[in-house]
């Protein structure tokens, strides 16, 4: 049976999310998480569907990709399809031929787990290694001690505060209340929580969104940030620990996060929150 690639309709996204949930497991190489789709959902279900790519054989989903911005395809495969030669050849053909519409024209990077055959094949087509990212993980087998800061779950009533802290944490962020509601309406958000931290003067100082992939599976932090006026007081560490505690409550086996290695403040903050850096991962890039 040939492998096909498709862009799902919005009502077909649940199937891609289910596949991604199913594929998460402890000890597996860093890979696209259902929370990444949930985070992207801030742009709406239609936009998320337009950004998702699904590869199938005989109806079964073998790989899922998310075009995360104009120039990055993040993708992963079913655990038993990592070395599937037919799949790898098809994915490579799809991403190197812009006329197929799987990837846009110009400079593009592809993120795929390090044990996929796709990673071995792409460099033969002129793709090169891109900037390093650091995945970090915190095991949740031991109870996580709650941080010494007031942390609240942010629901619809706190969407404006949650969005404002994010804009204050990330330069150029346009995250809004509307985007929060779009994100919170996503399929993966059923297993997610937004947390906001408040200091002694009741300022909202930090936020995080955590995404469970179901009990016994790694959960994801995306995004995490501290208000630029309130940095350097341990709030980054506190919200990171709170994120781990929230994922533990949701049944996750570990908490995972991913950041460019150049973001030293973030890597240090996660380590300070009990996360351990895993070997760096690098995307493969094609210049324009
Ligand atoms: C990264 C960030 C969350 C840190 O927040 P913070 O409240 O200042 O961090 P903390 O005060 O809790 O510091 C935690 C640790 O990181 C270290 N750290 C913080 N900023 C640092 C910097 N710019 N350079 C080096 N180390 C830094 C602290 O020294 C501390 O280390 P220690 O525990 O070993 O003493 C904040 O800078 C931020 O929001 N950045 C923009 C958003 C972002 O990059 N988010 C993460 C990626 S998703």
Higher pLDDT, 105 or 285: 285
Least trusted range by pLDDT, from 93-107, 154-168, 174-188, 223-237: 93-107
Q: How far apart are CA 268 and CA 278, in angstroms?
A: 13
Q: Which atom of ligand 1 is nearest to the CA of 231?
A: 8
Q: 3-131 and 138-282 share one CATH topology?
A: yes
Tell me, using a 6 A CB cutoff, whether residue 224 lines ligand 1.
Answer: yes
**Could you tell me what percent of the chain has a pLDDT over 70?**
100
Residue identifier of the C-alpha nearest atom 5 of ligand 1: 236
Q: Which atom of ligand 1 is nearest to the CA of 227?
A: 39
Q: Which pLDDT belongs to residue 93?
A: 92
Residue 41 exposure: Cα atoms within 13 Å on the Cβ side: 26
Tell me, using a 6 A CB cutoff, whether residue 265 lines ligand 1.
Answer: yes
Element housing 93 (H / E): helix 85-96
Tell me, using a 6 A CB cutoff, whether residue 264 lines ligand 1.
Answer: yes
Q: Which pLDDT belongs to residue 20?
A: 98
pLDDT digits (tens, 9 = 90+) for 26-72: 998 899 999 999 999 999 999 999 999 999 999 999 999 999 988 89
3-state helix, strand and coil shares in percent for the chain, rounded to the nearest 5: 40, 30, 35
Q: How far is the CA of 170 from the centre of ligand 1 (A)?
A: 13
Residue in 83, 73, 3 with CA at minimum distance from that of residue 32? 73
Conformational region of residue 137, where left means phi above 0, alpha means psi within -120 to 50, and beta covers everything else: beta
* pLDDT at position 276 over 70: yes
Is the domain spanning 3-131 CATH 3.40.630.30? The answer is yes
Tell me, using a 6 A CB cutoff, whether residue 204 lines ligand 1.
Answer: no
Which of 269, 273, 275, 277 has the most ligand 1 atoms within 8 A of CB, as the residue to mutate?
269
Domain ranges of the chain: 3-131, 138-282
Tell me, using a 6 A CB cutoff, whether residue 172 lines ligand 1.
Answer: no
Q: Which pLDDT belongs to residue 194?
A: 98
Q: Which pLDDT belongs to residue 69?
A: 86
The string over 196-228, giving b where at least 16 C-beta atoms fall within 10 Å of a residue's C-beta and e elsewhere, is: bbbbeeeebbbbbbbbbbbeebbbbbbbbbbbe
Q: Which pLDDT belongs to residue 103?
A: 85
Q: Which atom of ligand 1 is nearest to the CA of 238?
A: 12
- Preceding omega of 6 cis (within 30 degrees of 0): no
Q: How far is the CA of 235 from the centre of ligand 1 (A)?
A: 8
Looking at domain 138-282, what is its CATH homologous superfamily?
A: Gcn5-related N-acetyltransferase (GNAT) (3.40.630.30)
Tell me, using a 6 A CB cutoff, whether residue 231 lines ligand 1.
Answer: yes
Sign of CA dihedral 88, 90, 95, 97: positive
Residue in 41, 124, 108 with CA at minimum distance from that of residue 75? 108
Q: How far is CA 228 from CA 136, 209, 235, 236, 265, in A?
A: 23, 18, 11, 11, 13
Tell me, using a 6 A CB cutoff, whether residue 170 lines ligand 1.
Answer: yes
Tell me, using a 6 A CB cutoff, whether residue 169 lines ligand 1.
Answer: yes
Neighbour count for residue 98 (Cβ, 10 Å): 14
Q: How far is the CA of 115 from the centre of ligand 1 (A)?
A: 31
Q: How far apart are CA 186 and CA 177, in angstroms?
A: 15
> 81 and 45 in contact (C-beta within 8 Å)?
no
| Residue 223: both structure tokens together | 């995004």
Residue in 89, 60, 48, 63 with CA at minimum distance from that of residue 1? 60
pTM of whole model > 0.95? yes
Q: How far is the CA of 141 from the centre of ligand 1 (A)?
A: 25
**Could you tell me what percent of the chain has a pLDDT over 90?**
89
Which of 208, 268, 271, 273 has the most ligand 1 atoms within 8 A of CB, as the residue to mutate?
268
Q: Which pLDDT belongs to residue 288?
A: 66
């Amino acid at each position: 049976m040939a492998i096909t690639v498709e862009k799902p309709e919005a009502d077909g996204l649940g199937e891609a999310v289910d596949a991604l949930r199913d594929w998460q497991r402890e000890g597996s190489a860093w890979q696209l998480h259902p929370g990444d789709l949930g985070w992207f959902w801030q742009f709406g279900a239609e936009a998320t569907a337009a950004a998702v790519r699904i590869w199938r054989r005989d109806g079964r989903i073998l790989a899922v990709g998310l075009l995360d911005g104009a120039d990055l395809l993040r993708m992963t495969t079913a655990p038993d399809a990592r070395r599937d030669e037919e799949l790898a050849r098809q994915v490579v053909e799809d991403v190197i031929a812009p006329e197929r519409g799987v990837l846009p024209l110009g400079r593009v990077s592809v993120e795929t787990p390090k044990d996929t055959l796709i990673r071995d094949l792409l460099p033969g087509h002129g793709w090169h290694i891109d900037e390093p990212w650091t995945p970090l993980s915190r095991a949740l087998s031991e109870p996580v001690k709650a941080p010494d800061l007031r942390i609240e779950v942010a629901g619809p009533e706190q969407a404006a505060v949650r969005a404002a802290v994010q804009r204050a944490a990330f330069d150029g962020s346009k995250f809004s209340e509307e985007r929060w509601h779009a994100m919170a309406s996503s399929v993966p958000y059923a297993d997610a929580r937004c947390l906001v931290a408040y200091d002694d003067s009741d300022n909202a100082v930090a936020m995080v969104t955590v995404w469970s992939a179901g009990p016994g599976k790694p959960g994801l932090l995306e995004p995490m940030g501290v208000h630029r006026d309130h940095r350097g007081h341990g709030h980054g560490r506190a919200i990171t620990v709170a994120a781990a505690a929230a994922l533990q409550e949701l049944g996750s086996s570990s908490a995972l996060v991913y950041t460019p290695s150049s973001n030293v403040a973030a890597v240090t903050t996660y380590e300070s929150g009990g996360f351990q850096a895993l070997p760096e991962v690098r995307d493969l890039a094609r210049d324009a």
